[in-house]
Structure 1
Amino acid sequence: MLQLVFATNNAHKLEEVQAIIGNKFNLKSLTDIGCHDDIPETGVTFHENAQQKTDYLVERFAVDCFGDDSGLEIDALNGEPGVYSARYSGSRDMVQNIDLVLARMDGVSSRTARFKTVISLFLEGKQYFFEGAIEGQIIEECRGDGGFGYDPIFIPDGYSRTFAEMSAAEKNLISHRSIAVSKMAEFLKGY
C-alpha cells in the first residue's frame, strides 16, 4: 500500500481527504511522522504555498507527500481573502475572518466567489499539481454549523444551502478540495 504524508494537522482536512481517496492509500498526518513544525506559507499564490509544504517535508523527512493550499476568492474584494484566507483578519480565528469578510461585503450586490484548492504532490522524486474550484455566492450572514472555515457564508452554485448546512458526505461530492483530491487519486491509481 502506498504511503503518503499529507502536510496538515487539520483533522477536518484529513477526514475530508481520507473519505475521498478511501482505503487505497495509507494516509499519514504531520503528527504521524513526528513533524510538529509550523510549515511556512509565504507564497503569494496557492500553487507556491502548496509546493512550499511538499518541499519542506521532502527536505526534512524524505517522504512521498502532498500539501494543499486552499482559500476563498471573492470577486468584489479583488480575489481576497485568497491565500490569506486562514489569517485574513490577522489571526487564525475563523469567526473574526468571517466577520471581516461580511463587513467588507456590506452593501455589495455582486457576491460571486469561489473556493479554490491547489495540491502539490511529491512522489518518487517528481512534483505534480492538481487543482479544484467551485463557484458560488457569499451570503449576508452565517448559516449552518457543519464544515469549517468560510463554509457558513458560501453557497455553491446550483444549491440553496451553505457548505456548513450540508453533510460532510454531500460537501465532499462537490467541494474544491474533493475535485483536486479526486484528480490526484485518479493519477495515483497508476501506482
Structure 2
Amino acid sequence: MKFVLASHNKKKIAEMAAILGALGVEVVPLPEDAPEPAEDGATFEENARIKAVSAAGFTGLPAIADDSGLCVDALGGAPGIYSARYCEGADRARNDLLLRNMEDQDDRSCRFVCAIACILPDGETLTVRGECEGELLRESHGAGGFGYDPLFYVPACGCTFGELPPETKNEISHRGRALRKLKEALQGRL
C-alpha cells in the first residue's frame, strides 16, 4: 500500500522511508506545492494528526505524519513541540540556543519524543508514540543525523545520535520505536 509522508524535511523523509520500507509500506514524499498546515496543537499527537489530515486531503492518499522533538527536563520539557521552531535559523542556531539556555543546568536528562498519526484509506486515524531517553551534552559530537542529534547522548550506545550509523539510530530512536508501534497497529488493517 502507498502512503504519502507529510514532510518536506529531506533527512526525515529518508529516515522514515528507510524504516517504513522495511515494514513493507511504499512511501512517497509530500509534493512540494502542498500547503504547510498550522501546527497549532498542544501536543505532539495533535500536531501529527493535523499534518496527516492535511497531507491526505491534498493528495487523496493515505498519509503518515510525525511530530517530534526534544524534551529537556531542566527546561520544563522545552523545546518540546516547538523543537523545529525554537529559534530562527538552521539546526546550528537552535542547538546553540539550547546550549546557552542549559549553561547553568546540572540536570541534563532529556528525551526525544515522536508521535505518528496515520490516516488509513477508510479515514480512520491511528496515533502512536515513541520515546528515547538520553542526556544533553554541553557540546556537539558527530556530523550524522539532523536537528539536535549531535547533542543527544545515548548512554546505552556510548555516543550521540549524531555519531550513530543510520541503521542503529533507526533501531533505537523515538521515530523507530513509534514506527514499530505503527506496524503493530496496522497489522490486519491493510
Structure 1 residues 22 and 60: CA distance shift in structure 2, 3 A: closer
Aligned length: 187
What's the TM-score, normalizing by structure 1?
A: 0.92
Partner residue of 1:27?
27
Partner residue of 1:177?
175
Matches of 1:146 and 1:57, distance apart in 2:
28
Partner residue of 2:107?
110
What's the TM-score, normalizing by structure 2?
A: 0.93
Which structure 1 residue ranges, 5 or more long, are not aligned?
none
CA deviation vs aligned residue, 1:65-123 (integer Å, no higher than 9, x gap): 1111000000000000001101102x241111101110011021110000000001110
Matches of 1:130 and 1:36, distance apart in 2:
24
After TM superposition, give the deviation of residue 177 of structure 1 in Å: 0.3
For the aligned residue pairs, the C-alpha RMSD in angstroms reads 1.4
CA contact under 8 A between 1:152 and 1:165: conserved in structure 2? yes
Q: Summarize the alignment of residues 55-94 of structure 1 with structure 2, pairs less than 5 Å apart.
A: 55-89=53-87, 91-94=88-91
Partner residue of 1:54?
52
User: Which moves more between the two structures, 53-62 or 104-113?
Assistant: 53-62
Matches of 1:60 and 1:4, distance apart in 2:
13
Aligned sequence identity (%) = 37
Partner residue of 1:37?
35
CA contact under 8 A between 1:87 and 1:93: conserved in structure 2? no
2:98 to 97, 101, 109: 101
Partner residue of 2:143?
145
Matches of 2:48 and 2:20, distance apart in 1:
19
